[in-house]
Amino acid sequence: MINKIICTLLAATFTLGASAQHTDGTTKSLVKAEEEFAATAAKDGVKSAFDAYSAKGALVFRPNPVDAKTFYANQPNDKNLSWAPAYAKVSRSGDWGFTSGGYTVDGETKAYGEYLSVWKAINGKWELVLDLGAEHHKPLQPVTTHFVEPKDYFKPKFAGPKQLAAGKDIILTTEKTLNMTLKSYGVAAYGGFLNHDARVIFPGYEPVIGKDKIIAFYNSMIDKMSLRTVGADKAAGGDLAYTYGVATIDYRTDLRESFNYVFIYERQPDFNWNLIQQIYVPAER
């Protein structure tokens, strides 16, 4: 009888763990997975949480991109990191989404920042595929959550390697055009690529939200920017995509700095791809 009770409890534990990452194609399910991810880190340690929630081949930027499971295999299993999603969106195909929000690192001196995570639905559960964070001062702005559910559901019946490659090429071409425009017009080029409600996470600053505020932020300190795209991926629903790479920034103070970046794009009704989220973290040479 005792063995039966123990087996039942173990089965319940595994069931709860699996349902935490379960996806039904909604943003609500993704936010729940993110919250359970954070709860696991607090309870079992950051190393254990990333090992449990990261997809095979997932990348974490620490600060340069590295395989998540390989990186955390050599890290202590600390319980000093906490975070919570404030912004999330899922593709209309229900297979792809992202979360973003604030994090805190406890220690002798607390550290604060913002993170961005990209997730994919794999075998019916959400798994982490990209993660990075930028540090800033203790937050002063109030946090308002914004979780956006898909407006409809669409997933192509036939999405083979050729179709997936073609979708990826569209995003790479979009970013190539952005980079060429940046070379010609400087950061003012973002005026033609940012969505009205876009968000920027930049080291040392709390999130900058809104197209006009972002352009003013860029203009206040950046003279030139160039992008070297390293990778890209697009949701099967054809509405969301991400790129990552290295941005070289020339400041107005005649200093130059390199950053790893991840950009989130969203397709608009006119079929153009606009930026809805950008994050930069210092690149390590």
pLDDT tens-place string over residues 207-242:
999 999 999 999 999 999 999 999 999 999 999 999
Interacting residues of 109 by C-beta distance below 8 A, sequence separation 6+: none
- 49 belongs to a structural domain: yes
What domain range includes position 259? 161-282
Residue 21: the pLDDT is 76
Q: Is the pLDDT of residue 9 over 50?
A: no
DSSP strand pairing (65-67 vs 81-90): unpaired
Q: Is residue 241 within a helix (H) or strand (E), and if so which, with residue range? A: strand 240-251
- 153 belongs to a structural domain: no
Interacting residues of 69 by C-beta distance below 8 A, sequence separation 6+: 50, 51, 54, 56, 58
- Counting the structural domains of the chain, the total is 2
Are 15 and 114 contained in the same domain?
Answer: yes
- 87 belongs to a structural domain: yes
From 148, 176, 199, give the residue that closes a domain.
148
Are 236 and 273 contained in the same domain?
Answer: yes
Are 239 and 169 contained in the same domain?
Answer: yes
For residue 264, list its beta bridge partners: 242, 277
- 155 belongs to a structural domain: no
Q: Is the pLDDT of residue 19 over 70?
A: no
Q: What is the pTM of this model?
A: 0.91
Distance CA 180, CA 195 (A): 19
Q: Is the pLDDT of residue 7 over 70?
A: no
Confidence grade of residue 154 (pLDDT, cut at 50, 70, 90) = confident
- 82 belongs to a structural domain: yes
Q: What is the largest CA-CA distance in the chain?
A: 75
Are 118 and 198 contained in the same domain?
Answer: no
Residues of the chain above pLDDT 90, percent: 85
Q: Is the pLDDT of residue 12 over 80?
A: no
Rg (CA), the chain: 20
Are 6 and 116 contained in the same domain?
Answer: yes
> Is residue 265 within 8 Å of 243, Cβ to Cβ?
yes
Are 267 and 171 contained in the same domain?
Answer: yes
- 218 belongs to a structural domain: yes
Q: Which residues of 25-35 are buried (b: 16+ CB within 10 A; e: fewer)?
A: bebebbbbbbe
Among the listed residues 214, 202, 209, 218, the one whose alpha carbon sits nearest the alpha carbon of residue 133:
202
- 209 belongs to a structural domain: yes
Q: Residue 125's domain is classified under what CATH number? A: 3.10.450.50
Distance CA 110, CA 101 (A): 17
